Structure 1
Amino acid sequence: MPETLSVHLNREGPRELDVERAALETDRSFVLEFVNHGQPLHVHLHPSETLDGVVTPAETQVYVDEGETRPVDVSVPRQSGPVEGTLDVVTGYGAEEATVAVSVTSERKDGGPDVAVDDTLAEKTGAESEATTSMTAVVTPVVLAATVVVVAAAVAIAVPDAGALAVGVAGVLAGVAVAAYELFR
């Protein structure tokens, strides 16, 4: 799960910014979570020149409605560090500004794999066994219907003229009936 950095808006006054931490050290993408305690507000995000192209917010102009909590993903490509810079958070057309010092490291901070894998991943779930059962439920009527159609065609070839036509039509109808029964039971 990506790291989250909260930014509180309008907590003490209009257009006021309160960043949870002034510095962030990361080796991967993170989330800026804007929590608005007052009136609707536009927030602008500006990575410094050194972070440009390394730290990329999903949105650089964010509208946060009254009482809304709005997450914004900030992507950091793998193996893009080490690099340091700032991410400016601006409201009120530049009247209020907060700066977060961002350090992108090249080494994993936790020393673990890039993707966290839970032990339950190896366990078989009910959905897998259900998928096997539903596949059997579909294949069985199709095979049965195909068999009926092939038998009807063989009889139609063996029986001359009008009788062959009647047997063929009966065979096709029987196949369709069996398939419908199996699919909708």
Structure 2
Amino acid sequence: MPERLSVHLNRDHPRDLQPEAASLETDRSFVLVFENHGGPIHVHLQLDDALAAVADVAATQVYVDEGQTRGVEVAIRPDHPPAKGYVELSTGYGAEQARVNVTVTDERKDGGPDVAVDESLTEKTTPEPDEESLALADVALPAAAAVAAVAFALAIALAGSDALAVAVGALAVLGGVGVAGYVLRT
């Protein structure tokens, strides 16, 4: 999971901009979470050249409505070299500014994998039976009856007259439709 850094907006006065920390050390992508405590506001984000060499910001202009919380990801590129830079944040057309210093390290701080794995993935789970699914026994008897009716109709058709064969064939088709209706209903 990406690291998160909250930035409080409009907390003390209009266009106020307060990151929870002045610096961040990371080895992976992170999210700036803008928490608006007042009226609607636009926030402008800009990476300095050193940070822009190893990272991309998802949005440079962010609108955060009154009482809204909105996250913007700063994606660190794979196989990045170490870097030190900053994200500059501004509101009110530059009237209020704040800077978050970012140190990008090349090694994982926790030594773990790139993907966070929840411990519940190691637990064996048994799927619960679906109440609407059909068991083989529910379908076997009607299917066997349909096959027997078709075989009987074929035997009559080969042994008897054409009129009798048509009548038995029609009964077999009606029987098949009945079996299909039964299977769909259960």
What is the alpha-carbon distance in structure 1 between the residues aligned to residue 168 and residue 52 of structure 2? 75
What is the alpha-carbon distance in structure 2 between the residues aligned to residue 178 and residue 134 of structure 1? 18
Residues 120 and 173 of structure 1: CA distance in aligned 2, closer, same or farther (over 3 Å): farther
Residue number in structure 1 paired with 2:155: 158
One-letter code aligned to 1:108: R
For the pair shown, the structure with the greater C-alpha radius of gyration is 2
Larger displacement relative to structure 2 (91-100 or 167-176): 167-176
TM-score norm. by structure 1 comes to 0.81
Q: Which runs of 5 or more structure 2 residues have no equivalent in the other structure?
A: none
Identity percentage of aligned residues: 54
1:43-58 aligned within 5 A? 43-52=43-52, 54-58=54-58
1:26-37 aligned within 5 A? 26-37=26-37
- Corresponding residue pairs, total: 182
Residue number in structure 1 paired with 2:79: 79
Larger displacement relative to structure 2 (92-101 or 156-165): 156-165
What is the alpha-carbon distance in structure 2 between the residues aligned to residue 177 and residue 125 of structure 1? 39
What is the alpha-carbon distance in structure 2 between the residues aligned to residue 184 and residue 122 of structure 1? 39
TM-score norm. by structure 2 comes to 0.81
One-letter code aligned to 1:52: A
What is the alpha-carbon distance in structure 2 between the residues aligned to residue 47 and residue 9 of structure 1? 19
Secondary structure of the 1:106 match is coil
Q: How large is the RMSD of aligned CA atoms in angstroms?
A: 2.7
- 1:61-82 CA-partner distances (Å, limit 9, x unpaired): 1110111111222222333232
| Offset of residue 7 of structure 1 | 0.4
Q: Which runs of 5 or more structure 1 residues have no equivalent in the other structure?
A: none
| Offset of residue 151 of structure 1 | 3.9
- 1:34-79 CA-partner distances (Å, limit 9, x unpaired): 0111110011111122222632222221110111111222222333
